[in-house]
């Protein structure tokens, strides 16, 4: 059975109208529930959970199931794999930190690692924060010490450091694009 990972929509009452200075939700929970169910029926999602916040009122609207061919429904306590959306946030945070002068995109990654970690380099070229962010570090998509069926959920920073210390780059950092979940994950850990 093929599992389809779900994307969580977090909505902070983005669809509101103003009535006498008060924000009023345009969609009722029932109307939102119907929209979510239409997406499920149209095979655009398997399960969706939306959190709503309106003033001090909070609510959760959910539709669908955890996986195809399952009767286990999603709800406000469902844990989702967020996947690549976190890469966007990591890049935004790097840009924000650079704008505040806390880091520079061309800083070598070694500036932010413990002294015990050997960061790979090649031909005098070091991996920079920008190389991690733009997938030009030379690091692989996934580290070799992550089991094939595993995710990063149980992968420790120490395992990442162990991998870095033994890895040999196949090309100079910055010379070519290669999508690297490992590289952007490392950037997010700083």
Pick the closest to residue 78 from 3, 151, 8 (CA basis): 8
Q: Are strands 16-19 and 9-10 parallel, antiparallel or unpaired?
A: unpaired
Residues recorded for the chain:
190
Residue 52 near residue 13, CB atoms below 8 Å = yes
pLDDT at position 19 over 90: no
pLDDT band at 25 (very low <50, low <70, confident <90, very high): low
Distance of CA 8 to the CA centre of its chain: 11
pLDDT at position 55 over 60: yes
Q: pTM of the entire structure?
A: 0.66
Question: How confident is the prediction for the chain on average, in pLDDT?
Answer: 85
Tell me the domain boundaries of the chain. 1-81, 85-188
């Amino acid at each position: 059975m093929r599992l389809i990972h779900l994307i969580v929509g977090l909505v902070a009452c983005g669809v509101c109208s103003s009535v006498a200075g008060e924000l009023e939700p345009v969609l009722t929970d029932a109307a939102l529930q119907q929209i979510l169910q239409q997406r499920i029926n149209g095979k655009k999602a398997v399960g969706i959970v939306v959190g709503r916040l309106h003033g001090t009122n909070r609510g959760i609207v959910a539709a669908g199931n955890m996986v195809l061919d399952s009767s286990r429904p999603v709800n406000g306590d469902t844990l989702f794999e967020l996947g690549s959306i976190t890469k966007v946030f990591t890049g935004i945070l790097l840009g924000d930190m650079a704008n505040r002068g806390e880091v520079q995109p061309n800083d070598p990654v070694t500036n932010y690692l413990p002294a015990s970690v050997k960061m790979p380099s090649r031909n005098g070229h070091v991996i920079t924060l920008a190389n991690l962010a733009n997938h030009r570090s030379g690091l692989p998509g996934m580290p070799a010490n992550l089991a094939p069926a595993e995710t990063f959920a149980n992968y420790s920073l120490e395992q990442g450091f162990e991998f870095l210390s033994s890895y040999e780059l196949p090309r100079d950092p910055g010379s070519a694009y290669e999508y690297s979940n490992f590289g952007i994950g490392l950037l997010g850990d700083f």
